[in-house]
Amino acid sequence: MSRTVSARIKPQMHENLREQCNKIGCSINDFVEACIELGLTGHTDFDFGDEKQDDKSQINDNSRNDVKKVVIQA
């Protein structure tokens, strides 16, 4: 059974989150769940939309770390 998690975030962060989810075509729930998985395990199969499609070996590590920081602060 799934559980509900609630977090208070600033309006601008919510707007950025909504825009990113719209950009990559996922729900906020799916995005946040993947962020939590990444923060807890250090990996996820979720496509955050920050990798080049033709060359997945060039991952922007800073953007991955930014996602982890958001999860920790939330």
Q: What is the pLDDT of residues 36-49, one digit of tens each?
A: 999 999 999 999 98
* pLDDT exceeds cutoff 70 at 65: no
- Per the structure block, which two tokens stand in for 19? 């825009």
Name the phi and psi angles at 33, rounded to 5. Answer: -60, -40
Cβ within 8 Å of residue 46, ≥6 positions away: 30, 31, 34, 37, 38
Tokens 């060039």 locate to 58
Q: What percent of the chain has pLDDT over 90?
A: 61
* In the block, residue with structure tokens 């922007």: 60
Which among 40, 37, 44, 35 is positioned nearest to 66, based on CA atoms? 35
Domain definitions of the chain by residue range:
28-44+61-74
pLDDT at 15 over 70: yes
Given a cut of 90, is residue 53 above it in pLDDT? no
